[in-house]
A and B are shown apart, each in its own frame.
Chain A
Amino acid sequence: MIRVAAVGDIHLSPDSRGLLRPAWETLGDCADMLLLAGDLTRHGTLEEAEVVAAEIKGLPVPVVAVLGNHDYHSDLQDDVTSVLERAGATVLEGGGTVLDVDGTRVGIAGTKGFGGGFAGRSAGEFGEPEMKAFVRYSRRCAADLARSLLELRDRRCEVRIALTHFSPVPDTLAGEPPEIYPFLGSYLLAEAIDESEADLAVHGHAHLGTEHGMTAGGVKVRNVAQPVIGHAFAVYHLPVDLRIDVPAVG
């Protein structure tokens, strides 16, 4: 069994320095990793990123993160990533990482993701260049997530987790105004998660949403935005599926 701690939307800034550290220092007792589902800062400044870095530095479990839209706000996302990586976090955007948890290979694929809406009510790649760029970007995020999850399967990961900021399903948005669902997630992420048969999907972004959801393919989805989970992190115990289906080589 793998113990996954996760939280998103912590929105740290200098006035919240040290806020989460006392709770996060206990992670070694209850979790094998900490996943951060984006919106770690308020405006995406380096000063705020340094606050996040101080919270995660030297934690007793590995930290894997994606950035959120707030972390892009100052156009310093690459620098924010560097600050977090210097503090020991693995920051994913379209890639994956493998953690060894007592001999079990756990793969995490991450992307911020983007909006566009959900099946039957989604934006199309049509019309103005701005609209086409919006949808193409969302498609690219989802394609990168699918590719990374499949690569993790080929790398013999017994457990694979999709980590995003935007939501793959509308289920976990319940509580948000329905009119803004297209800005909160995209079914393209769920399609990527289902096609690559991930074991769990974790996201943030929807502060007024709900924790539990599921993709059409039956993959459990958890919205770990801090206002939703009501704690410094949530912990999920994930069973290890030993039936690894690795494609034949050659």
Chain B
Amino acid sequence: MKGPEASEYRIARLRDRLADEEISELGVRIDMRGGYVHLWGTVSTAACRTEILRIAETELGGLPVRADLTVACATVPERPEELE
């Protein structure tokens, strides 16, 4: 089977691969839009982001990728929330 369906399976395999032992990353959203595979979300470290992009390259086999992966911020919050 060729075309979009094949891309779907590749994306599903990428999701499985990200969830497995290697990296266990379940917080990245992966969708096909405008002919590109979009990866977005927040990951815990820069090393994790690099690894996700490396795995994506190997699993997607040449499909064009647009990534917007940010690294979680470990700063003190500016203010509390007052709950009534």
Contact = CB atoms under 8 A, between A and B. Distances in A.
B72 interface: yes
A13 B47 CA distance: 11
Contacts of B79: 235
Contacts of B41: 207-208, 227
Contacts, number: 85
Contact of B76 (A10, A15, A16, A26): A26
A13 B24 CA distance: 11
Interface stretch (A86-94, A114-122, A142-150, A236-244): A236-244
Q: Which secondary structure characterizes the binding site on chain B?
A: loop
Interface residues of A, number: 37
A226 interface: yes
Interface size class on chain B is 20 to 34
A226 B72 contact: yes
Given A16-B44, A20-B74, A230-B73, A236 B29 contact: no
A232 B83 contact: no
B24 A227 contact: no
Interface in A191-250: 200, 207-208, 220, 225-227, 229-239
B27 A232 contact: no
Interface of A: 3, 9-13, 15-16, 19-20, 22-23, 26, 30, 42-43, 70, 73, 177, 200, 207-208, 220, 225-227, 229-239
